Structure 1
Amino acid sequence: MTKLHFQAEQIKILLKRISSKQITGTLTITLETETKDESTQENYILVLNDGKIAYGGSHIPERNEFVKMLAHKANPEINPVAIKAALAKSTNPTSVTEILNKLVRFRVLTWEQINTCIRGQVLSLLEYISCYSGELELNTSPIFNINWGEYGHLMDCADLQKELDKRQQKWDALQPLIPSKVGIPCLVTKAATQIKEPGVLKHLEKWVDGERSLINIAQELEKNPLTLANYYLNWVQNGWISFDRTKLLEYRNRSTILSVDDSPIVQTTIKRFLGYRYNLLLASNAMDALKLLNQNKVSLLLLDLTMPDIDGLEICKSLRNIPQFHDLPIIMVTARDGLMNKVKGKIAGTNHYLTKPFDAEQLLSIVNKFVPCGNT
């Protein structure tokens, strides 16, 4: 299995890697999202075939469940008897393709409907993924036959990226009434007395709670976020909802911290302690750390003293010789709690020395001295 960390809006890099490596397998995507009081994780799946995307969703359902779900999404008026007949005539218990092909032969579905449904779901998922940072894990072991490439539905990553770019232009056109897909809609106080449509009022009272972003709501409802955004645009114009620009600004202005450590346990701990307050980048070696530093505006560096390629002191010395990193706060994180090591760290240019193991309060206290939460 291969793991890769990514940051918000790095979807282009993800799609490019999938395409260039001609990957076949299952890509598990773990997103680091937030609720009101804590950070949470969400898992999603992309099924890949030779560098193209076959399917994307929250999980890969059992075959029969998958066929029923897909058939009803592609054609809400489909006759359930036709689905039962196709399932009954199936000879391959692992083949989704066989059943869908029978439904097409029964003329209750078309491949165009199926492809449109899957493509729309994948685009919405990729759009959602682009809003958050997280981790990718590739498993090349086969699941079940979902790769019906002979019917032309496998999705080229370059084409998907072009479509995502077009969708972004549509998001931009919704501004300033809808500032972003991660904008937080809020119900206007007097809206309940003005809305005459019970369905609209029910939706707003359930989903517009001042905490969920527009993209979150669309994901939970399994709706195309752009389609939902156009409804919300109308409701903004009617004066029923507004968007919390303060929360959007806080989301965009979160400081970025880079943690460099070759221990997955330490990185998981740091992610748990800091991930919900800051944009957190993770690197396990010096080369990856330098790439991330050059590609991102990093406000603080957490640096392990002992690593396999170049130790933390050498990295620190090198960074201090580069003008753009001369004033970057660097916290040395290590299990070595000796005076001499602290002196060496100070000479190398570190701003603070944090000894493992540490708890959340210790880490946050030190980090907040150099990077107050939410500020850039």
Structure 2
Amino acid sequence: MLTGLIKQGIISEQQSTAIAESNLIEILFDLYQAAVLSGAAIHLSHRPLPTNLLPPVSTSVSASRVFQQAQQLWQTWQESELTDWSPNLAPVIWDNDALRQQMSFLAYHNLTMLVDGDRTLRDIAIQLKQPLVPLTRSLMPYVQKGIMGLTAVKDWGSDRSFKFTQSGASSANSPGGIAQNPIASTHPLVAYIEDSRFDSVAMNQIVTQAGYQFVNIQDPIEALPILLEQKPSLIFLDLLMPVTNGYEVCTQIRRISAFKDTPVIIVTGKDGIVDRVRAKLVGSSDFIAKPIEPGKVLSVLKTYLSAR
């Protein structure tokens, strides 16, 4: 690919070398991290290809420079107490209000424009033209406080890959605005009917890290047929959505015999006694208030799915 771009005059040989070396540094960094986390020993070596195997126009890199820069980056990463965190993880915002209160307006604006659960730490560092390590360190206090999270991004070639777009959650291979995380089918499936991208990403992170499968249904109008097809073991249901609301959807769910005993948890920012009573009247099993937080979600999962 790089040789083709050089031939077309789109990039220079110097730019091609910089791109190749940057990619190799990232690969070596990931190998160092994987070896440390798995406790395996790693010994890397290289040798040049014979000239007769090289294309007429090729990219030449300095192996010693690549090895040295990868080792330096990994050492700095470790010294910054980031050993357990991969730069291939994507930041997500769990509590917008708390983040807004702890950042300047400009910093908050720039961050929220890029943090979508799809761009990795490396991607955001490039977009902001900031070094990777300082950027990651600046975000870690928010991760430790539960204001932000870090989630894995599926490879583009994955059959079950998903991305969260600005209009909501959508899956490359799932209709109806569904985003799924593939976990072994023996694990209970948790559904979340929610049109908010940020809340969907937060719920996805918590549920999948707890070991459950996850499906997000963005459009409440399409919820029933998708629920019948997926047959989740537990349903989280947002209260305020366009076109309809959680009370109406919950009523429709309870009319289906297959979901008579399925836990349905209303999720909302309105946490008044009237809302709780009305949620019970339409057949909800429980009620949790936003923001989406690990403690609240895990408590529900333990209560309703531990015996399943």
Q: Which bracket does the TM-score occupy, shorter chain normalised?
A: 0.3 to 0.5
Question: Which structure shows the bigger proportion of residues in strand conformation?
Answer: 1
Higher relative contact order (CA 8 A, sep 6+): 1
